A = this chain, B = another copy of it.
Amino acid sequence: MGTGVLLFLGNKESSINFKDNWYPYRQDSTFLYYFGLNLPGLHALIDLDSGKEIIFGDDLTLDEIVWTGPQPTIAEMSAKVGIKDTYTLDKMTAYLSHREVHYLPVYRPEHTVFMASLFNRSYAEIDLGYSLSFIKEVAAQRAVKSPEELSSLHEAASITSQIHLTLMQQAKAGMKEYELASRVRQVAHEQNVNISFQPIVTIEGQILHNHYYGNTLSGGDMLLCDAGAESSQLYAGDMTRTFPVDSTFSSLQKELYDVVHRSHLAAIAAMKPGIKFLDLHLLVCRILVEGLIEVGLMKGQPEEAVAAGAHTMFFQCGLGHMMGLDVHDMENLGEAHVGYNDQLKKSDAFGLKSLRLGKELASGYVVTVEPGIYIIPELIKKLKASGDYNDFINYSLLEKHADFGGIRIEDDFAITPDGAQLLGRPLASTSDDIESIRKAALS
A residues with a Cβ closer than 8 A to B are 11, 14-24, 26, 28-29, 62, 65-70, 107-110, 112-113, 116-117, 123-124, 176, 178-179, 181-182, 185-186, 189-190, 192, 197-198, 204, 206-210, 213-214, 316, 325-328, 330-332, 376, 378-379, 382
Whether B178 lies near A182 (C-beta < 8 A) is no
- Known A66-B379, A117-B123, A209-B67; judge A327-B21 contact (CB<8 A): yes
Closest Cβ of chain B to A436, distance in Å, is: 27
Nearest-neighbor residue (CB-CB) of A112 within chain B: B113
Q: How far is the CA of A332 from the CA of B18 in the complex (A)?
A: 5
Whether A331 lies near B110 (C-beta < 8 A) is no
Whether B66 lies near A316 (C-beta < 8 A) is yes
- Known A14-B14, A182-B186, A182-B190; judge A19-B332 contact (CB<8 A): yes
Q: How far is the CA of A209 from the CA of B70 in the complex (A)?
A: 12
Q: How far is the CA of A207 from the CA of B70 in the complex (A)?
A: 10
Chain A at the B interface: SS class: loop
Nearest-neighbor residue (CB-CB) of A234 within chain B: B17
Which residue from B16, B116, B206, B328 sits with its C-beta under 8 Å from A123? B116
Closest Cβ of chain B to A405, distance in Å, is: 11
Closest Cβ of chain B to A112, distance in Å, is: 5
How many copies of this chain sit in the oligomeric assembly? 2
Which residue from B178, B204, B378 sits with its C-beta under 8 Å from A65? B378
Whether A331 lies near B19 (C-beta < 8 A) is yes
**Which residue, of A24, A186, A204, has the highest number of chain B Cβ atoms within 10 A?**
A186
Whether B213 lies near A326 (C-beta < 8 A) is no
Q: List 12 extra interface pairs beyond A62-B382, A68-B209, A182-B189, CB under 8 A.
A: A15-B108, A18-B29, A18-B331, A19-B331, A19-B332, A21-B331, A65-B378, A68-B207, A69-B207, A113-B123, A176-B192, A186-B189
Nearest-neighbor residue (CB-CB) of A111 within chain B: B109
Find chain B residues with CB under 8 A from A379 CB. 66
Q: How far is the CA of A69 from the CA of B182 in the complex (A)?
A: 23
Whether A197 lies near B21 (C-beta < 8 A) is yes
Q: How far is the CA of A207 from the CA of B330 in the complex (A)?
A: 36
27 A-B pairs whose Cβ atoms sit less than 8 Å apart in the complex: A11-B17, A14-B16, A16-B26, A17-B26, A17-B28, A17-B326, A18-B107, A21-B326, A21-B331, A22-B198, A23-B23, A62-B378, A66-B316, A66-B376, A66-B378, A66-B382, A67-B209, A69-B207, A69-B210, A69-B378, A109-B109, A109-B112, A112-B113, A113-B113, A113-B123, A185-B185, A186-B186
